[in-house]
Structure 1
Amino acid sequence: MILSLTSRVLVLGMMWLGLSLLKWDGAMSPLFWQALIFTAIVLVGSLMEQLFHYQGDPYILPVVQAIMALGLVFVVRVNPGVALHQFWWANIGLLMFYTVLWAIRDYRSFGRFRYIWGLLAVGLLLVTLVFGSEEGGATSSLKFWGFGFQPEEFVKLALLLFMATYLVENEELLRIGTVQWGRFSLPDWRTLGPFMIMVAFVLGLLAAQKSLGTALVFYLLFVLMLYVVTERALYLGISIPIFLLTGTVGYMLFRHVRVRVSVWLDPWQDPTGMGYQIAQSLFAIGGGNILGTGLGNGIGASTVPVAISDFIFSVIAEELGFAGAMAVLVLFLIVVMRAFVVSIRAKDRFGQILAAGIGILLGTETLIILAGVTKLFPLTGLPLPWVSYGGSSLIVHFILLGVLLNISNATATSSHSTKNKGREYAT
């Protein structure tokens, strides 16, 4: 208990120190009260873990809360006017996390609704395509009564559950195969059909929405989950020409894809126009040197377009330097690696696959986003989990975190019960 509370106090201390160094309205502002609510939820949540005898992974939640605290500070730094909304969503997300962690009696019940999850994913994308509004060149947002949300964020959760249930039911056939194609054995259409249809529908709808960054994340999620479960390099080999083919088609069909590739290859051909965003991002990152300019002293917050969401890492790298940027990467790496530890330790196959899928999703998102802002990869317009501004992303990633730690807690509880029964039997 002391270790848990100490880690939360350190996280909150980091957040309040960061806020105190920034210029905002002070103790009478709504932002101050929302920060207090966030503090109370974190501390009460830590006490609840002791009250309800949480036995799951002790590292993931404190690390995520550290990432979240850093994100809140930098959202305030970039745009104090909208930071209040981010605190709202952070507080709601934490409450939803604890609801998922404690209210789900048996996460394996999710596995009973395979086709429902698949239909939900396709349905959300269809509704977005028909009724959505365009942002950043992609039709990815739905608005109700003045509030907007990103349905594709919730599609991540539905697809993960669909994939986990599908792979549990068809693992052996996918691993061994029933149809011989020369030297290779592949599953028959009855086994592979639902998977291929789901992939085609989801990626096709995302392509129609021009949301190609999300399409890339989902494609990698499909391929990597399939490989992790079956351990067949054949699926990786098949995925590469498919990726190259669909990427080429996307490049030829969509002008904004051609622009992003052109900017990625040479942003300096038009540094004040199309290349302005990535050029300013590189200037900000390069200006941070080793230890950074100091919180609140960088220029990237005002010069980098969309710094509050897509390019918030550039601001972090400038003001905290290479050391701070690497610290953020290490925090994300810890979360991803611990997710795989949860997967390895899970007692049932569904829990193993679902936890691995969450780790793959978080790692893939982070890698693509950070590669984009550092010009290692074309820009995708995706938010950095728990850091970038955006309510939909926060809520969904906290739900995923709740599912992951629910699996971890159930595994630890099951192991503890088994040990106690063994002792009783021995006596």
Structure 2
Amino acid sequence: MSLGPTARGLRAGLAGRALLPGALLGLGLLRLGGGEALAGHAGLLGWWSAWSGGAVLLAGAAAGQEGAGLLSAAGSLAAAGLVVRLATTPEDWLIQGLLWVAASGLALAVSLLPWERLVRDPRIPTCVTLVALILPLVVGSAAGGARAWLRAGPLQLQPVELAKVGAILLLAGRLGLAPPGSASRGISEPSGPLPARELVWLALLWSGFAGALVAQRDLGGAALVALLLPAGLLLAGYPARVPLGALLLAGGAGLLLLGLYPHALARVEGMRALWRLETAGAYQLWQGLASLALGGLWGRPGGFGDGLAVPAGATDLPLAVVAPGAGLVAVWGILYLQWSIVARGLGMAETAEGAARLLTGLVAVLWGLETLLPTAGWLGLAPLTGLPLPLVSRGGSALVAHGVLLGWLLWGARQRLGGAGARAG
């Protein structure tokens, strides 16, 4: 039995998406060290590409072309992250590779769970978020000015990444479900606004979340979590004045708190020093911009080593590691892949309703902010925040947490595919 032209085209598109992460990793290895690097890491290229391609095919089987496109873009970003790790801390490349295996496997597993029922109980995400935010204050250790890390020997965990996941699940459950007394309405139907008392309770709880991050001296994480509330209100269909008011209150609180934390104020001063063309207070920013100039449009083979001149480049400024070796084209490619994930999430939110709309929309908003803020910091358009660039920055906690976020997007793609199939039937 021969396949029709449409089926053959879909099959070819799926195969191309499955090959993309491995192809980009191979290209990155060539740019990193030429043929010697490619030959020396042939085993890595083989098993990592096989897993990533298989994960894309599994996502395609479960969530169609949209699911395959999501995991293909994510795998391609993980390939860039692996090249960054090889350029900066080559002794840890195996950890980075295995973390992507764990994150992508987690995404596939998460996408199969019945989130239309799981979001109904807000107690679990509330407890998870509170524990993840309070634990570093009790037994955490400081790094980069923020007390946001848990350490046990060589292992370290940044619980704020888990807190972001819990916060999104909580908002999807509270703002995306029908209010009490409307059990006859399905989860996918519009929910209507929360009663004023519940909305005030949610705002106070959210202030507590942001306050815990402020107490950790992690103002970047606090700003990110605070921004999720107005985004959720907007996605839930509240009048624009409600999310705008929440946004203004969060911004005003941030400005008031800025002067209390010298490390955060120093980052703002560093950005201002860059615009005043002063080198003393903006060394990392100057080095980051220099990396872009060194790479030019296409980069220089072996130029990834220039990224080592940027302090904490693999975490705060991973694009500054990529730019010298692969050039502006690779930076554009990474940002395009990030945007493709954000755009797919926003597209799902546009057609979904209820909790599905909140879950996919908030993931897209968070992913977009985590792409925009580090990139703006690299270019001197915003203060450096220490936020990880999704799937590219070095950081196991962030990589695994983004596996959960990716799983929710795959779940949304499955819901969308199922809805399209039901309408066609």
Please give the range of the TM-score, normalised by the shorter of the 2 chains. Answer: 0.7 to 0.9
String of CA shifts for 1:360-411, please: whole Å, max 9, x gaps.
1101111111111111001101110010111111111111111111121133
Work out whether 1:216 is the aligned partner of 2:226: no
Check whether the contact 2:304–2:322 (CA below 8 A) recurs between aligned residues: no
Work out whether 1:84 is the aligned partner of 2:94: yes
Q: 1:272 to 1:228 in 2, by over 3 A?
A: same
* Distance in 2 separating the partners of 1:402 and 1:158: 14
* Structure 1 counterpart of 2:163, one-letter code: V
TM-score, normalising length from structure 2?
0.87
Give secondary structure in 1 for the equivalent of 2:149: strand
Q: 1:97 to 1:33 in 2, by over 3 A?
A: farther
Q: 1:238 to 1:79 in 2, by over 3 A?
A: same
* CA drift at 1:192: 1.6
Work out whether 1:249 is the aligned partner of 2:253: no
Check whether the contact 2:360–2:409 (CA below 8 A) recurs between aligned residues: yes
Work out whether 1:127 is the aligned partner of 2:127: no
Q: 1:26 to 1:260 in 2, by over 3 A?
A: closer
Q: 1:298 to 1:266 in 2, by over 3 A?
A: same
Instruction: Show the counterpart of 1:178.
Output: none
* Distance in 2 separating the partners of 1:3 and 1:269: 49
* Distance in 2 separating the partners of 1:192 and 1:26: 56
Q: 1:191 to 1:47 in 2, by over 3 A?
A: closer
Give secondary structure in 2 for the equivalent of 1:143: strand
Instruction: Show the counterpart of 1:349.
Output: 354
More deviation, 138-147/394-403: 138-147
Instruction: Show the counterpart of 1:423.
Output: none
Work out whether 1:406 is the aligned partner of 2:408: no
Give secondary structure in 2 for the equivalent of 1:375: coil
Check whether the contact 1:101–1:403 (CA below 8 A) recurs between aligned residues: yes
* Distance in 1 separating the partners of 2:305 and 2:54: 37
More deviation, 270-279/363-372: 270-279
Check whether the contact 1:71–1:387 (CA below 8 A) recurs between aligned residues: yes
Give secondary structure in 2 for the equivalent of 1:195: helix
Work out whether 1:71 is the aligned partner of 2:77: no
Instruction: Show the counterpart of 2:185.
Output: none
* Distance in 1 separating the partners of 2:250 and 2:355: 28
Work out whether 1:337 is the aligned partner of 2:382: no
* CA drift at 1:300: 3.4
Work out whether 1:318 is the aligned partner of 2:324: yes
Gaps of 5+ in 2: 1-10, 180-190
* CA drift at 1:51: 5.6
* CA drift at 1:83: 2.2
* CA drift at 1:354: 0.7
* Structure 1 counterpart of 2:388, one-letter code: P
More deviation, 315-324/156-165: 315-324
Instruction: Show the counterpart of 1:172.
Output: 192
Work out whether 1:13 is the aligned partner of 2:33: no
Instruction: Show the counterpart of 1:396.
Output: 401
More deviation, 222-231/249-258: 222-231
Match of 1:375 among 380, 396, 399: 380
Give secondary structure in 2 for the equivalent of 1:253: coil
Check whether the contact 1:72–1:87 (CA below 8 A) recurs between aligned residues: yes
* Structure 2 counterpart of 1:360, one-letter code: V
Check whether the contact 2:21–2:49 (CA below 8 A) recurs between aligned residues: no
RMSD: 2.5
More deviation, 38-47/360-369: 38-47
* CA drift at 1:33: 4.0
Q: 1:53 to 1:273 in 2, by over 3 A?
A: closer
1:252-331 paired onto structure 2 within 5 Å: 252-267=259-274, 274-289=281-296, 291-297=297-303, 300-331=306-337
Q: 1:2 to 1:204 in 2, by over 3 A?
A: same
Give secondary structure in 2 for the equivalent of 1:173: coil
